[in-house]
Every structure is written in C-alpha cells, then in structure tokens.
Amino acid sequence: MSKITEEVEKLVSPIVDHLELELVDIEFVKEGRDWFLRVYIDTPEGNIDIDQCALVSERLSEELDRTDPIPQNYFLEVSSPGAERPLKKETDFQNAIGQYVFIKTYESIDGMKEFEGYLLSYGPDSAEIQIRIKTRTVSVVIDKEKIAFARLAIDFSS
C-alpha cells in the first residue's frame, strides 16, 4: 500500500465505520495524464447504494481538503466494488468460501498461474479452489504467499 493510500485509509476509515459501512479497497492510480483516487465501499450485506457513496465522498472530500495529503491534482471516486469485488483481507476470503472466484498467482502451479472456480476453503496457510479442466473437476491448493490477486468472479458456465 502506498503512503497516499495509507493516509486516505486513516481519513476514510472513521467515516465508513460511523456509517456502518465496509472499506473494501483504495487505489491511487494514474491513467493518461490524470490521477484518480478510488475508494470502494460496501455494506456488510453487499448492497451499497448511490446515496451512501455520495455521503462518503462528501465527508472524505472535506477531510482531504482539510489535511491535503495528496500534492497533485486528482479525481475522487467513491463507489461499489462491483460484482467482481477484490479479495484482499482474511474476512474477504472467508466470506467468499463457496463462491466462484478468480485467483492469479505469482508463480505457476501445475503449469497454471490463473485459476477460476469455487473457493472450497481458506486457512492460515492456503486456499483450496475447485476448478474445471476440460471435462474434469479438480481441487487445487494454493499457498497464500503465492496469491498475487484474487476477486469474486461470475460463473458463466452454469
């Protein structure tokens, strides 16, 4: 996490906690010539609405103006993480057990670096995912330190 996203997390966490919302992720990225500060929020039930996003945006904007932690110009976006929500925290993975997920690894496991299937388990050391390879269904155990990126996915095969 960059210094800017760490500072923004300190500012936005009390806001989302007070509103009983969940902070899913923060990104500070350059796209073309413009910088974007993206804050993804949700409800515990997964049904964030536009009014809640607008309220967090308004309150966070006031805090950002007050503390000014970002030297360059940027656009602030507060939104839902969407259907393909990233899995970053332990609780994200625990809540995703039984759901269809996409996991990308830092290194190959059985010749593959991308896995899409149902998350069977997530423990202290590894995640187990059930994937389809042609006509077979197999389980793959992935060491946690090998996970580069994970998110919920949409199962188009069912």
Q: How far is CA 123 from CA 4, 33, 91, 112, 116, in A?
A: 31, 41, 11, 21, 18
Q: Where in the chain is the domain with CATH 3.30.300.70?
A: 3-79
On whether the pTM is more than 0.85, the answer is no
In 4-52, at which residue ranges do the beta strands (DSSP E only) sit? 22-31, 34-42
The partner residues of 102 in beta bridges, in order of sequence, read: 116, 151
What is 3-79's CATH topology? Answer: GMP Synthetase; Chain A, domain 3 (3.30.300)
In CATH terms, the superfamily for domain 90-152 is Ribosome maturation factor RimP, C-terminal domain (2.30.30.180)
Confidence at residue 1, expressed as pLDDT on a 0 to 100 scale: 53
State what percent of residues in the chain have pLDDT above 90.
Answer: 84
> For 121-148, what is the mean pLDDT?
94
Cβ contacts of residue 21 below 8 Å, gap of 6+? 41, 42, 43, 48, 52, 56
Is residue 75 over pLDDT 80? yes
State what percent of residues in the chain have pLDDT above 70.
Answer: 99
Q: Where in the chain is the domain with CATH 2.30.30.180?
A: 90-152
